[in-house]
Amino acid sequence: MNDGKAKVPSPTIPGWRLLISTAGRFWAFRETPFSAKARQAGAEPDLDADTFAEIQAAVELQEEIARLVAARGAES
């Protein structure tokens, strides 16, 4: 039976679990831990923001920190 309401797909961010609170706030939790070195460099595995665009930007910043740490390790 169809209730007539359109199904809006939930936004996703690959590698992150995304939750939207009843107040409309976005929370993202990384599915796999960052390395200890990435954490020491400031990569945060749990984030929150007011909009999907803001949470996407915050996630990308954390992933960039992790990439930079990994690249530095590869250069050693």
Which pLDDT tens digit goes with each residue over 16-44?
999 999 999 999 999 999 999 999 999 99
Q: What pLDDT is recorded for position 10? A: 75
Mean pLDDT, to the nearest integer, of 9-15?
A: 86
Output the pLDDT for position 11: 86
Q: Residues, the chain, total? A: 76
Predicted local distance difference test score (pLDDT) of residue 75: 72
pLDDT of residue 73: 82
The average confidence (pLDDT) of the chain is 90
Query: Whole-prediction pTM value?
Result: 0.83
